[in-house]
Every structure is written in C-alpha cells, then in structure tokens.
Structure 1
Amino acid sequence: MLATLERIDPQSDNIDLLVELVCHLRPRQRWVWQGQDDPAQAVRTLTQLLKGNPVQAWALRRYITTLLEKRRHTSLYSDIGILSNDGFVTELKNRITYRFLPPALDDLYLSDALDQLLYREDDYAWIRAVPDADWMALFDIIANAPPPEDATVGRARVVTLEGLLDAIRTLSCRVCALGLEPRLVHSYSQIENFDSPFLMQNIETNHYLDQYARYLAGDIERPDDARHLLVMLDQCQEVVLKIRRLALSTGTSVALTYLLVALQQSIDRLHKLLFLVDVHDEETATAPAPVPSTTLAPGPDGVLQPETALLSPQRLAAIALAEELIEAHNTKYQVRGLVRDNVDLLARNVTENASRTGEHYIAESRKDLRAMFGAASGAGFIVGFMALFKILLGYLRTPPLVEAFLFSMNYSLGFVVIHLMHFTVATKQPAMTAQRIAASLHRADNGRGLDVDRLAELVNKVFRTQMVAVLGNVLVAFPVAWAIAAGYNAITDKHLVDPIKALHLLNDIDPINSPALFYAAVAGVWLFVAGLISGYYDNKALYTRMGQRIQQLRGLRRLLGKERLARLGQYIEDNLGGLAGNFFFGILLGTTGTVGFLLGLPIDIRHITFSAANFATALVGLDYQMSWTQIANATAGVFLIGTVNLLVSFGLALWVALRARKIRFKRGILLLQALGRRFIGAPVDFFLGPKHRQLPPPDPATLKSSK
C-alpha cells in the first residue's frame, strides 16, 4: 500500500494506480472479512498512513482531483441503478448479452471508470461492510491535505457539484417524459383533468437550477429551497401509487410495469440528489442533528481506541448514495434484479386476479358445500367420458405428435366444456385458493396485524371445500367410467380394454411400483401453471378492455345484434382467464407424455379424477378378477395421486403469491394450533361447515357512528 502511494503522480489521469490502491483495500478472499481480511482494518491502515505523511495525502488528493476533472459525472448519477428507456425485453436482452461480452468502456465518463476500479460483482458488499465513520475519516484526510505553496488546488468539488446539478436536470426531464407516456395516461386518465405534476416538476426544477446557477455565480446570497419542487415530486409519487392500485382492478402489462419501476427509480434518485445539493441554512437549524458514529483511532500508546465523530445528515446521505451507486454498478448486468423488480409487480396483479377467482372456490356453509359437490359431480361425469375418449384415441395408433394433439384437444375441450357448464374440477382449486389465502394475509398484515384465528378459519373453509370437490369428482367419475365400460361389454360382448391394457392402467396408478406419484407432481406443476395462465389472461382482459373491443367488431354486431354482442364481450372479459387456463392446461396434460417419449425422459402426468376413471375401466376389463391387495393398492394410488396434485399446485401457488406480496409467513405453529382448536371445539363443523352462512362481525366504528 505504501509503495503504491509513493508512485502516485499528482498530474496523471491514468487510473491504474488507483485501481492498484483499491486492490490493497479489497479483501483477498470473497465473503471472508475476518482478521487480516477485514476491509475496515485496511481502510483504517490507509488513513493512518496518509495522516502520518501529508505529502502523500496531498499527492493522492491531487491525483483523484485530476481523475474527476477529466471525466464526465452526469451519467453516473442519472443512469446507474435506473432502468433505461429501452423497455423490458431490450433491457433483458442487453443484460444477458453483456454478461458474456461487456460493452466497450470510454475513459471520458466517470461511470465507465468504475468498471476498471470496482470490477468484481461483490465489491459493493465489502464497501458496505466498512463503517461510514471510517470512510469519512479517510475522505477527510484526503480532502483536507495541505497543498504545497506552488500547487494548484483543483476543481473536484465544483466538477462534482456541476455533475449533480446536470443529473438533476436530466432526471427531471426523464420523469416528465415518462409521466406523459400514453401507457401511463391510458391507465390513469384523470391526470388529463388537471395540470400534470410530471410537467410541473420539470418547470420547478428548471427554476431551481437557474437560481442555483446564480448562486454559484455570486449574484445571489443563497438559492431558493427545493420545497416547491419536492411537493411536485410527492404528487408524482402519488400518481404512481394510484396507478399501481388501479392496476389491481384494471390490469397491467409488462411495459406499464417497467415504466412504473423506471419512473419510481428516477423520482427516488431525484429526492436524494436534491438533498445533497440543497444549501441548508445553519442559523435556522431546520436540518436534522448530526449523527454520532464511532470509529477506531490510535491512542497515545499506539493502541487503537474508540473515537466518536459527528456525521452530518448530508454526509451520511452522500455515503449512502455512493454505496447505492456502487451496488447498482456491480449488479447492472444481473438478470435477477431486473426480473425481480418487474415481474414481482406483474405477478402481484396476476395473482390478485386469481385470488378474486379463488373466492368462488370457497364454500361458506353446508348449502355452499352441497352446491360445490353438485358442481364437482358434473365435472366427474364429463371426465368419465374424457377418459373413454382418451382410451379410444390411443387405439388409433397415430404418430406421436398427432397423438399428442388429439390427447390435448380431448383434455382442452373437455375442461372448457366443464368451465362453460359451471362445473368444478377439484385440482383446479388450489392454484386459485392459495392466492386468496395470500391476499388475506396481506390485508391483515397491513391492517390490524396478522389475525391467526381468521386465517385458520379461511384455511379450514378451503380444506373442506376441496375435500368435497375431490369426493364429487371421484365418486361420480368412477361409476360413470364403470357404466361406460360395462355398457360397452354388454352391447358388443367385448371389453373396452383387454386384460393387458387393464393391467397397464392399474400399473399407471400404482404408488409403490411405478413413478405415479412423481407424475402426479408433474400434473401438480401444470395445475399451478394453468392458474398463472388464468390470472394472466384475466389481467390481460381487464387491461386491454377486451369486452369493449369485441363490441366494436361490426361484422359480429351485424350477425349477433348489439345486445347479444355486448353480452358476449362481457362474458369473454369475465371468463377469458378461465377459458384460457383450462385450454392450456389440457395442452400441457396432453403433450407431456409425448414430449417425454420423444426426449427419452421419464415424464408423464397422473390426475386423480382420470386415475379413478381408469381404475373403474380396468376393473371391468379384468372381469372383476382383482385381489383385495390390488384393489387396496389402486385405491391408495388414486387418493395419493390426488394428494400430490393438491399439495404441489397449492404449495407453488401459495409460494408465488406470498413472494409477489413480499410476505414472509413464519407462524405455521400458531396456525396449526388455531386449526386444532377449531377441530376440538366443533369437529362436525370442521368437516361439514356451519349450517348457515356466518356474517362477518360488525365494525365497532360503524356501530358508534350509527348511534
């Protein structure tokens, strides 16, 4: 470190020696900052070296000043850590490309100098590990180093301030442009009824910067404060929050989500830069008090001892911004951060639509349970015929891709018919009800805290509703498939399946000697994906105003009439998610086995309702010549397949819904205890539900106001 300091040329603008000096501060081993690899200790050592040698401290100061004077600062403050205007897809493509082949660097820009100085992706971590007081002590030693009599001081501070002011102007123009984007205005048309805060903040910014330029020129004593500008930025922030809330009911898109993220990042950066450049009046004492911070300094005997220093809020903000910029620079080519910031918001809206759909899959009373059983029974009846058609399609011996298409259409059209007739497939419920549970967690956590008892009540309702739906599917699909197989035998004097095929059907649902449970997990994943597809298309129908667009089709209007077309448009807007989810779910089920066969992978699907129907078909095909062991094994296989279907789809859907809402639920024991209390207190109601729908308790505030 000392040898590097001795080689510094104050007039040089070559960054190599500064890179070498940073390498001395950087820990030799990643993520190990103990003992000799403690970065804070290295920073303190450099501070003491410079404190003991003012000549080297001045040389380092003039060297850094030269580097800053020779480079442009604006892009560092206005671009790093903020999404570009290229859009999500282009930004994602660029990040993936730059991971393998980074762009060419230009020594003209300070942001590109960081690529040479802090080239490791984890540099921000060890920089954050050093206490703020240690960094500030090092900067003070360098900044306050006394110059020789014939030396020029340099303009580092002025250049940095000018870069900050230029970045403020750039960001303000960017916020104005993004705020007037047609997508944003389309999502919040009320903004056209009054002066746009995005436009007004740009006017206020230009006024503020003009005043600041006069202040720097010495024409005025101090510039106007940024109070009015901050008010405009707060109004811009409110518009962004309103659009995000409206997106829960009107839908969103990847482009709009990307726009909102970029807009939010620009507004946040503007706030930070304004705080740094704002000229505080020390006599008014309106600024927060300095924050004490403890660092280590050598005592009289040379031993390091605690030393308390005062860090002003602006100095702390400068350190925080520097650390933020370094982290954003180190991670600017990472795909994970881009996907997290954008897809989480989109997933929130998709799962929110799914949670509203999930409310239809939760029975509140025994009457609702009977209705659910009837809907599930209707679905079981149709699935019995779908299982028949699948067997018949298999007898055609068509090429694999043709067979996959036929199987997919059998599944897809069957599930769509089930949806059109308002029937219920039990395994479709978990992906929807999981979103509903996550939504209730979110509201409780942001309102009166997490109410475990109310959550247990909702989980109990979901549990018994799904159990009734499973029973409705299985108890009807089994006898329908049996009746079809037995009727075919009675009419044609032949079995629908021969004994070999029947044994093959039984082996497919064997939970011990076949990968049936793994295949059931694959089906559970597809159930989860179908739930996401359903939520995505519900969101798309709302965002694109699908119903209104359909009503504008003149050809259909002449064919159906205005009223019928209006009803059709409203139906498609309300049910597009359900129709698309069921259709694509059928394609996923129908193609999985063929894809596994073509790729030589052991991949297939098992579904509880179809497994029950195949069990009945095999029973007739073997002329009921089955041992009790085979019957028990097949029965266990059906219900284990159903359990895996439900657990996998429910678990994945709940995990995504919680992540989309940034919720970490860690009270599983309390939830189990609450469920146990409900079971002990009313075991019959736990499984069958209350006789009548229970109304929610009245709000005490409402009762008080009515009095």
Structure 2
Amino acid sequence: MLAILERIDPNSSNIDLLVALFNSLRPKRPHDSATAIANVRTLRQLLKGNPAQARALHEYVLRVLAARRHASLYTDIGVLSNSGFFTELKRRIAYRMLPPALGDEYLNDALDQVLYLKTDYLWISNVPATDWLELFDVLTSDDIELAVGDGNIMLPGILDAIRTLSYRVCAMGLEPELTRFHNEIEVFQSPFMVQNTEVNAYLDAYSNLLQGNIEHIEDARHLLVMLDQCDAVIAKIRKKALYQGTSIPLTYLLVALAQSIDRLRKLLFLVDTSGELPASCNVDIAAITVDATQDLLHPQPVSRRRAGAVGLALELIRAHNHKYKVSDLFSDNINLLARNVTENASRTGEHYIAENRREMGAMFLSSAGAGVIIGFMALFKILMSYLRSAPLVEAFMFSMNYSIGFMFIHLLHFTVATKQPAMTASRIAAGLHSKDGRNIDLDSMAELINKVFRTQNMAVLGNLATAIPTAWLIALGYKAITGHHLVSPEKAMHLLHDIDPIGSPAIFYAMIAGVCLFVAGLISGYYDNQALYTRWAQRIAQLRGLGRIIGQDRLQRLGWYLENNLGGLMGNFYFGILLGSIGTLGFLIGLPIDIRHITFSAANFATALVGLDHNMSWQLAVKSLSGIFAIGTANLLVSFGLALWVALRSRQVRFKHGMQLLKILGKRFLRAPIVFFFGSKNPPPLALLDDSANLSPTTKAQK
C-alpha cells in the first residue's frame, strides 16, 4: 500500500494506480469485514502521517474525476433503461458472456475498472461510514459536501443527471402502454410532464445561482410534490393491474419509472441549497449519520448531505456490481406479473374449496365425472400406442388425447383432482398475506388448510371411484366385442411395472408430472391475466363477421366465456401437451424422464387386471395400489409445494410458523377426526381468507 502511495503522480489521470490502490484495500474474502476495515484504517493512518502523499492522492483523484463524464453514472447504474424487458435481458446476457469495451470518457467505466469484482460491494458496505468519511477528510482539508461552488467537481454531472432523468420520466409517463391502461393521464394534466417543466425551471435557476446572477433559489420541495404525484399514478396503475391484468412491457415500464423517480429524489437531496429537503425514504440517513459519529474519542457530527452521499455511493456500487445480473432483472419485474398470475389462480382456487358436506358431495360428483372421461382417455392412449407411429407423431397423438380430454372436462365443469393444488396454494398464500403485514390468524389459516385438504381428498376419491370402474368396464367390453383382451398379459405386466413404487422410477416420474401440473397452473393464470388485460370479451364482440354468423348475443356470450375461461382452457391444453410429450422428449435426448399421473395409473391398473383375467396375486395388487397412492402423493405435494412457493414469493411473504400451524391442525384432527376429513354439516363462517378481509385474531403469530 505504501509503495503505491509513493508512485502516485498528482498530474496524471491514468486510472491504473487507483486500481492498484483498491486492490490493496480489497480483502481476499468479500465477507471478511475485519480485514477490509483494517485496510481502510491503515490507509487513513498512512495518509495522516504523510500530508504530502495525502495531497498528491487528492489531486490525482480529482484529475481522474475531471477527465471523465459523470452524468451516466447516476442515470444508468441501478436504473432500468426504457429499451424494454427483453432488450435489457438480451443485453445483460450478452455482456455477462463478453463485457463491453471500457474507455476513459465515462466515470461508470472507471468504476468498472476499479471495482471489477462482482462482490466488491460486500466489503465496501461492511466498512462503517465513519471510516470512509474520515478517510475522505484526511484526503482533503476542503469540505467534500456537494455544496454550491466552483470547486465541486461532482456538481455539474449531478445537475445534468437530474435533467436527463426528468426527461426520461416524462417520456416514459407518456408511453402508450401506460396511457392506455390509465387514461386519466390524458384527461387531466400529466404529473410526468409537469415535473419536467418544474425541474427545468429549477435547474435554470440553479445555473444562474452558480453564475452569481442571483443570490438564492427556492428549495426543491415543490419538485418532490410533483414526484409524489407521479408515484401516486404508479401506485394506482399497480392496483388496477391486480384485477385488470398486466403485461411484461407495462411491468417493466412501472419499475423503470419508479427507479428513475427514486434516483431523482436522491440527487435533488444532494444538490439542495436549503439543507431542509427530506431525504429519500430508500436511504436511511439517520442510520448512516449515527454510524458516522460512533468514534467516541473524536465524535464529530456528520451532515445529512454527506450521509446521503455515502448512502448513494453504496447504492451505486452495489448496482454497478449487479448491472449484468439477470436474476435482478427478473426479481425487479416479475413480482407484479407473478402476483397477477397467482391472483387469478387464487380466484380459481376458491371453486376448489368445499365449505360444507353439501359442497363436498358436489365436489365428489364433479370429480367422478372427470374420472369417467379419464377412463376413456386411458383407452385411447393404449390404442394409439398400438399404431407404432414415429416418436414425434406418437407424442403429438398422445398430447392431443390428453389436451382434448382435459379441455372437455373443463367444458363440462368436471374436476381433475391433481389440478387443484396449483390453484388452492395461491388461495392459502392469500391468507398468509395479512393486511397489516405482521399478524396472521393461525386458527383461520388452519381451518382453510383443513378445508383444502378434505376437498382434495374428496376429489381424488371421486376421480378414482369412477376411473377404475370405467377402465375395467371398457376392458371387459373390448374383450366382449373383439374377442381378445385390450392388453396382452405382457402389456398388462408392463403397465403394472410402470406403477411399481420400488422396482421402477414411478415416484420420480410422478414428481415430474407434479412439475407439469405446476407449470400448467402458471400458464392458466398467465392466460387469465392476458384475457383481462387485453379485454378479450370486448375484442371478440367486435368481430362483425362472426357476429353475422352466430348472432351478436351469442358472440357476446362467447366473448365473456373466453375471457373468464381462457386460462382454464389453455392451462389444460398445455398440460396435455406436457404429459404427452415428456416421455418422447426423454427418449429423443436419452434421459430417463416420463410422467405418472394418479388417475391414469389407476385406470391402467384396472385395464391390466382384466388383461390378466383377474389372476393377480395379492402381493402384486398391494404393491400396485401402493404405487398409485405414492404417485398421487408425489403429484399433489410437488405441484402444491411449487405453487405455494411462487405464490408466497410473488406476495413477498415469509411464513415462519409452520410448526405452530401443524400443531393446530393436529389438535383439530384429534378433537374431531370425522369433521377433519368430511367437514361439518353447517360450519361457522370463516372470518378471513383473503387480503381485503379483516383478521379476527384467535391465535396470532408475529411474522
């Protein structure tokens, strides 16, 4: 470190020595805060003991800063561009593989050269603010605050960045994607345009102040009012999106707007001349100020502006280290879209929860109807397999068999048991998201989970109660009509081997089917969201040609039906494609992947039983039935677990009271096992199951 300080040339703007200096400060492990703090304090002591080196380093840093443009550092780092989600995604992927060329014109390129490790923000943020501020104080006797004056080399770049960000906010606020969704912007004066006018006037006055034409200017409070109005519009759009749907471009636009407005606030706070401007809520000025006065031997108060500068610097460094990180782009943009997808699934999930025994009976009948259709779907698949078609042709036929069958089940309002978890998980997540963000009524949540559990069991029983007899009768009828079995004894044993929980990878294949169920749930929610966002009912009602054929009334009913059921239809369609093509995909790429579904496995068991002329040992029967049970369990647990995880992530919920919830469920089972499995005849109304209801705390836990 000392050798580097001795080599510093105060008349040079070459960045190599600054890179070497930061290399000497950087610990070997990014989380080694003790070493990082010790290195920074060592540098401070060296500079304090040699004022000439401190002066040389100060002049050298100033020359490095003066030789580069600053505005892009504040406008581009940590703020999404308005190029769009997929363009930004491609850019990040490309630059992660081959980073862009760095030059000497821009300060953000210099940051790339100095802090080139993706973990640099960790050790820099672990060094207390007091150490950084004391190091800056040693470097120069001048005040490093961003105050008005010719000596402030950072000020022009910040002012340019404020103007640039203001123009960007104005442009994004007038994007058709946003104005179409929130047309009040066009009816009333847009706050996005007004803020740009006010910012330009403020910066013009600031320029006159710097030139000495005026003695003082108004503070930027009126600008913050306009930015607050912009934030209010963004909040309204986000709220409307929850029930009107959203899109990736709109979500990206809202995130970019929010980031630009937040950065504007922070920069305005730094250049404010009054010292009374409130800091951005995203920077904990108080914490940094307290941290910067922890030196008990030499306590010195730190200004709010210096604390704000430190906070912004740490934010820029972290954003710089993550600027090509794809996961950050997804986490910033997908939450709202995922929330909308799971909200639609949650609304669908309400229909999969029986409140009383009467509704349980209705669920049994609904799932029994689906079991009959699945019995025929299993027949068609076996017949298709006898065609010995090419792999891709066979995959297409299997997929269409599944897709058409599942869509037919949806049209008849029947229920496939394994489709429930992906929907009901979102409903449970809605209950875990309390209104005040802190308290959750665990008794109400246990009641909801209990209802989901027994409804799910009833749906499974309904599917199996008809799928097995239907497949058995079909196999008997096939033999009676054709004179030979639907499946040979060898084929029957193969079908039984496929559901063997020990001698075959049936459980693993069932988990793959659970993933397919989860994906189908996401697809269903996505298309429900798209149908709402793009107003399918209105668009279909405008089809004049189709209206002349079927009549305008039928056309409107068709539009409303598709808008309300597009997600269900498309989810079933793609679910069928997944089930029909996974096995062929595994065959083509040489991977042992396939699917096992509880209802089809049960139907195949009945078919195999007839194919063996009912000559089946009890050991084989028990093993096969155990396999069916294991397959169903894997189907349900995997799809439910993944759906619940996504629903919780989309709502940003962290639930930490699983054991307490399990204890409450156990007590409910021991107290009334019959009610636990079959429900009561007239259950009391549940106080809360969604976001909008008030929690009636019986058993509350802190999240």
Structure 1's 295 and 27: CA in aligned 2 closer, same or farther, altered over 3 A?
A: farther
* 2:439 alignment partner, SS class: coil
Which moves more between the two structures, 491-500 or 565-574? 491-500
Structure 1 match to 2:585:
595
In structure 2, the partner of 1:469 is 459
C-alpha separation in 2, matches of 1:626 and 1:54 = 94
Within 5 Å, which residues of 2 pair with 1:677-696?
Answer: 677-692=667-682, 694-696=684-686
Work out the CA distance in 2 between the residues paired with 1:112 and 1:141: 26
Distance 2:463 2:384 in 1: 23
CA distance in 2, matches of 1:292, 1:102: 39
8 A Cα contact 1:133 1:309, kept in partner: no
1:388-467 matched pairs, under 5 angstroms: 388-442=379-433, 444=434, 446=436, 449-467=439-457
Structure 1 residue aligned with 2:289: 291
- In 2, are the aligned partners of 1:293 and 1:311 still within 8 Å (CA)? no
1:306 and 1:475 map into 2 onto residues whose CA distance is 80
Q: Deviations over 1:155-174 (max 9, x none)?
A: 88433111111111111111
2:699 is matched with none
Partner of 2:522: 532
Cα offset for 1:145? 6.8
Aligned-partner residue type, residue 239 of structure 1: V
C-alpha distance in 2 between matches for 1:691 and 1:309: 71
TM superposition shift of 1:346: 1.4
Instruction: Indicate the residue corresponding to 1:705 in structure 2.
Output: none
What is the rounded CA distance, in whole Å, between the counterparts of 1:586 and 1:332 in structure 2? 39
The reply on whether 1:556 has 2:546 as its aligned counterpart is: yes
2:484 to 494, 498, 501: 494
| Residue matched to 2:23 | 23
Aligned residue among 56, 67, 71 for 1:70: 67
Q: For residue 290 of structure 1, report the CA deviation from its aligned partner.
A: 9.4
Q: CA deviation at 1:447?
A: 5.6
Amino acid at match of 1:328: A
2:376 corresponds in structure 1 to 385
Counterpart of 1:261 in structure 2 is 255
2:349 and 2:426 in contact (8 A); partners too: yes
Q: Which amino acid aligns with 1:332?
A: K
% identical aligned pairs: 63
Alignment of 1:281-680 (within 5 A): 291-293=289-291, 307-442=298-433, 444=434, 446=436, 449-680=439-670
Corresponding residue for residue 102 of structure 2: 105
Structure 1 residue 196 corresponds to structure 2 residue 187: no
Letter in 2 for 1:10: P
What code does the residue aligned with 2:42 have? T
Pick closer, same or farther for the CA change 1:62–1:618 going to 2, 3 Å.
Answer: same
- Any conservation in 2 of the 1:367–1:692 contact (CA below 8 Å)? no
C-alpha displacement at 1:205, in angstroms? 0.8
Aligned length: 682
Q: Displacement, 1:218?
A: 2.1
Displacement, 1:51? Answer: 1.2
Structure 2 CA distance for partners of 1:657 and 1:127, relative to 1, 3 Å: same
What is the deviation of 1:493? 2.6
The answer to whether the Cα contact below 8 Å between 1:291 and 1:311 also exists between their aligned partners in 2 is yes
Answer yes or no: is the 8 Å Cα contact 1:131–1:295 preserved in 2. no
Deviation at 1:86, TM superposition (A): 1.3
Deviation at 1:548, TM superposition (A): 1.0
1:217-236 equivalences in 2 (<5 Å): 217-236=211-230
Residues 527-552 of structure 1, C-alpha deviations (whole Å, 9 max, x = no match)? 00000000010011111111111111
Name the residue aligned to 1:89: 86
Alpha-carbon distance in structure 2 between the residues aligned to 1:210 and 1:653:
53
Distance in 1 between the 2:378 and 2:294 partners? 76
> Residues 233-276 of structure 1, C-alpha deviation per residue, up to 9 Å, x if partnerless?
01111111111111111111111111111101001101111111
Query: 1-side partners of 2:605 and 2:694: how far apart?
Result: 55
Structure 2: runs of 5+ lacking an equivalent: 279-284, 697-703
Question: Is the contact made by 2:149 and 2:210 (CA closer than 8 Å) also made in structure 1?
Answer: no
Q: Report Cα offsets for 1:117-155 as digits up to 9, x if no partner.
A: 111111111110110000000111112179xxxxxxx98
User: Which residue of structure 2 aligns with residue 13 of structure 1?
Assistant: 13
Determine the C-alpha separation between the residues in 1 that align with 2:277 and 2:366.
75
Q: Secondary structure at the match of 1:90?
A: helix
What residue is the counterpart of 2:700 in the other structure?
none
Map of 2:171 onto structure 1: 177
Shift in Å at residue 700 of structure 1? 9.9
TM-aligned CA distance change 1:589 to 1:293, over 3 Å: closer
Aligned counterparts of 1:293 and 1:319: Cα–Cα separation in 2: 11
**Do 2:165 and 2:264's aligned partners in 1 also have CA atoms closer than 8 Å?**
yes
Q: Secondary structure at the match of 1:158?
A: coil
Letter of the aligned partner of 2:165 in structure 1? L
User: What's the counterpart of residue 236 of structure 2?
Assistant: 242
Aligned-partner residue type, residue 260 of structure 2: S
Unaligned residue ranges in structure 1 (runs of 5+): 147-153, 298-304, 703-707
Give me the whole-angstrom Cα distance separating, in 1, the residues matched to 2:142 and 2:214: 31
Cα distance in structure 2, aligned partners of 1:197 and 1:132: 36
**What do residues 300-323 of structure 1 show as CA deviations (whole Å, max 9, x unaligned)?**
xxxxx8543322221111001001
- Show the counterpart of 1:138: 135
- Give the direction of change, closer, same or farther, for the CA distance of 1:606–1:139 in structure 2 (3 Å limit): same
More displaced 10-residue stretch of structure 1: 530-539 or 40-49: 40-49
Q: CA deviation at 1:21?
A: 1.1
Asked whether the equivalents of residues 376 and 424 of structure 1 are also in contact (C-alpha less than 8 Å), the reply is: yes
Q: Is the 8 A contact 2:440 2:695 kept in 1?
A: no
Q: Any conservation in 2 of the 1:427–1:646 contact (CA below 8 Å)? A: yes
How far the C-alpha of 1:624 sits from its partner, in A, is: 0.7
Q: Secondary structure at the match of 2:299?
A: strand
C-alpha contact (below 8 Å) 2:346/2:425 kept by paired residues: yes
The one-letter code sitting in structure 2 at the alignment partner of 1:16 is D
CA contact (8 A) 1:54 1:145 kept: no
SS of 1:450's partner is: strand
Output the CA distance in 2 between the equivalents of 1:441 and 1:694: 20
Partner of 1:209: 203
Q: Deviations over 1:559-589 (max 9, x none)?
A: 1111100000110010000000000000000
What is aligned with 2:46?
A: 49
* CA deviation profile, 1:651-706 (whole Å, cap 9, x unmatched): 0100111111111111101111111222233322211112135334599999xxxx
1:542/1:632 CA distance change after superposition, 3 Å: same
User: How far 1:6 sits from its partner (Å)?
Assistant: 1.7
Q: Is the 8 A contact 1:61 1:145 kept in 2?
A: no
1:292–1:309 CA contact under 8 A, matched in 2: no
Question: Whole-Å Cα distance in 2 between the matches of residues 29 and 283 of structure 1?
Answer: 39
CA deviation profile, 1:474-493 (whole Å, cap 9, x unmatched): 01100011111112222333
Residues 541, 292 of structure 1: alpha-carbon distance in 2 compared, 3 angstrom cutoff:
closer
SS at match of 2:595: coil
Query: In the aligned structure 2, how far is the partner of 1:283 from the partner of 1:547?
Result: 49
Comparing 215-224 and 249-258, the one that deviates more: 215-224
Displacement after TM superposition at 1:419 (Å): 0.2
Q: What's the RMSD between the two structures over aligned residues?
A: 2.2
Q: What is the DSSP-based 3-state SS (H/G/I as helix, E as strand, rest coil) of the residue aligned with 1:308?
A: coil
**SS, match of residue 497 in structure 1:** coil
For 2:466 and 2:581, the matched residues in 1 are separated by 26
Residue number in structure 2 paired with 1:149: none
**Could you report, residue by residue, the CA deviation over 1:69-92 in whole angstroms, capped at 9, with x for unpaired residues?**
111111111111111121111111
Greater shift after overlay, 313-322 or 644-653?
A: 313-322
